[in-house]
Structure 1
């Protein structure tokens, strides 16, 4: 494919699609962008400005099936007829990260996982930047990787990568891969088979060699079982908060110890900017990536202390009448909410609900018994939440708008307690997306 530039068709005119179009045009492809939905005006303007051909509201089959190469946006399932036809015709269908990686020689830190990947990506980027590396951050966060490659010349990239993006790779290979954890999520895209989703996450290491690294959570049984059954070639660098491990990172007496190539670093968790056990793990993963890229120990220690977390992830909004309001709108699955409840140290009024992705709330039961004094449901269908926790929590209220939910929480919460928005569900029943939900929460709290 190198050298022979042909027709590049981009399916989906969102962030990754338009990024791919920009890079494709720069690399001399004849680019056509096709979106069955509506392309946002801001993206349309970019395409028009660059004189890239596009359509929305339809897929022109003849034109698409004439492609030499197709980049499919991660939101489009492999099962749609258009994609199936392309595959049957033998036209390569790849993801944006696969396309973009062909046009850079940068060192890549690739981060995937069901939860924690955004925080770990931001944290790793922060550590590397503070360590003086010329580093960019892309993928599922901020600008698309393709756009970054087209417009910058970074030596290193930290990429947040979803399973959908990994499904479309062929030769993409991060020098350092991180798997934060694997819990059931998006199973509707994987024939409702958890093992298909796990296999998809592990594609991050499929092209790695003995000179590359895989950082992973050794406390995650799903990951350790998979590695036993499907060994990878890369060097394994595990982390744990339950047991001592070397090489790798472990937690003991509030201290993180990292050992790589017989070189040891110790850091106190007391000074970490982010709270909660899951953030100790995120800090371990990011710190090991930084250590492998030769960032000084002192820089890593300092940088962990001044890191500002990801928006909508356990974000402290305001304290009103000595009640802390926390926005964890990014918790779109049960596992993420588990971490949020686990890090609460006081009685909590919990706002939960939304579009359920087949949730099993049973895992949350011990935490809810111990920490939750009231549940405020915020969704169009709250029956499952009410059935699960109705006998455990004395006070349950159903609400249908963010403003209403926050007003009810304000009445219920007493001094020294916390109001936590951690929905454990997708947001599409009442909101545009989790950001919209989090922003509405923050606005409602500020109006109190």
Structure 2
């Protein structure tokens, strides 16, 4: 850990600008470099703080004299400037790692291929309602570093992506949650699921016997990697398939959470604000966190019953002529789309497509065959979707804008159907991000 010298921050989004703010406050010489254009709101912050920056380029001479580099999670190690930094032996850390150095707050860290944003939000909701002095940050869109610089929380709930975990070395989670491991972002991991799984398991690095690890006992890949992983922390699994002695399980449509045998939490799944099988898992994980922190059962039940889900995750947009329109734009991988289809009981017009990250569509085939009457492709290159589902769906249509996709879906749907935007792909071929994709979808639905 460095205590003086020059900090270079690569990437000037929420994470990067937050890191620059904290580094400046700690007395470092700070330089921010972004290979793209810097958004106006972030540029204004850098100017106001008198932090030097560049955009649309990486100037080696300005970067390679750094004592340490804080890298945006979106930048892969294969880009030329990162290779140069590694060659020079300059340490590279994530914004999360850097920020944790300057707070004594404890952390609940949540990762997983699917459900991590919902679980992070639900966990934060429970803790905040219970009166804890708690902040919310990480992959959810808030800079941890900025909160550390400007606030004084005693707890943080952090959503951590595999990219963030890759650049975390000394960081320790007080409570670590691993929801699941399914193929995602394999283009960043040499198309090897084992590499991606190892990245996810970094959530428990540096934990001791005083810490907590919460994981899904039904997740095949998690169980596979746990066989070869030494875990020092207290382990609390959760399952909907089997009884768990210390953890959470499902019995007769009731969630049972056993952390303290004298104070077991029981809650009917019908009372949960979040419905669907995948959300039972998310609620169990959040419930275990709450019980570990000795939050009262009544407070946990109340928060799990009145929670409102995030935008772009199975968000009901409208019912038009008897057809439901659901925005699940945050579903950027195949597994997320499987969960979305599993949660819908009617016939589906599925809008999917975008930037394929090495997707294996086989796991969707049975669900698509059973529930989907038409696929509306939304992306520049839809060839792999056609190849994957041509034997399972009679109608597959190509579209190149959210407006066009909604119009086509409207004409294909009949009363009682659901039009589901659940792309299984990244968004940046036609949209700025998944939020932009979801917002354009909602706007197009409201025009009907």
1:415 is aligned to: 415
2:258 is aligned to: 259
Q: How many angstroms apart in 2 are the aligned matches of 1:358 and 1:166? A: 21
- RMSD, matched Cα: 1.2
Q: How many angstroms apart in 2 are the aligned matches of 1:146 and 1:65? A: 23
Matched position secondary structure for 1:366: helix
- TM (norm. structure 2) is 0.97
Shift of residue 158, structure 1, vs aligned partner? 0.3
Q: Deviations over 1:70-116 (max 9, x none)?
A: 11111111233322332333321111000000000111000111111
Q: Deviations over 1:396-433 (max 9, x none)?
A: 22222211211122122222221111111111222111
2:398 is aligned to: 398
Q: How many angstroms apart in 1 are the aligned matches of 2:389 and 2:84? A: 47
Matched position secondary structure for 2:381: coil
1:179 is aligned to: 178
1:26 paired with 2:13, answer: no
Shift of residue 142, structure 1, vs aligned partner? 2.8
2:277 is aligned to: 277
Q: Deviations over 1:348-379 (max 9, x none)?
A: 11111112112121111221122112221222
2:142 is aligned to: 143
1:70 paired with 2:72, answer: no
Q: Runs of at least 4 residues of structure 1 off by over 3 A?
A: none
Q: Deviations over 1:236-265 (max 9, x none)?
A: 111111111120111121110001132411
Shift of residue 232, structure 1, vs aligned partner? 1.3
2:440 is aligned to: 440
* Distance of aligned partners of 1:241 and 1:51 in 2 relative to their CA distance in 1, 3 Å threshold: same
1:107 is aligned to: 106
2:243 is aligned to: 244
Q: How many angstroms apart in 2 are the aligned matches of 1:29 and 1:290? A: 37
Unaligned residue ranges in structure 1 (runs of 5+): none
Shift of residue 62, structure 1, vs aligned partner? 2.3
Q: How many angstroms apart in 1 are the aligned matches of 2:408 and 2:82? A: 47
Q: How many angstroms apart in 2 are the aligned matches of 1:294 and 1:5? A: 40
Q: How does 1:124-139 map to 2 (within 5 A)?
A: 124-139=123-138
CA contact (8 A) 2:273 2:308 kept: yes
CA contact (8 A) 2:237 2:246 kept: yes
Matched position secondary structure for 1:229: coil
Q: How many angstroms apart in 1 are the aligned matches of 2:386 and 2:223? A: 35
Matched position secondary structure for 2:188: helix
CA contact (8 A) 2:185 2:358 kept: no
Q: How many angstroms apart in 1 are the aligned matches of 2:41 and 2:429? A: 25
Unaligned residue ranges in structure 2 (runs of 5+): none
2:324 is aligned to: 324
The size of the alignment, in residue pairs, is: 447
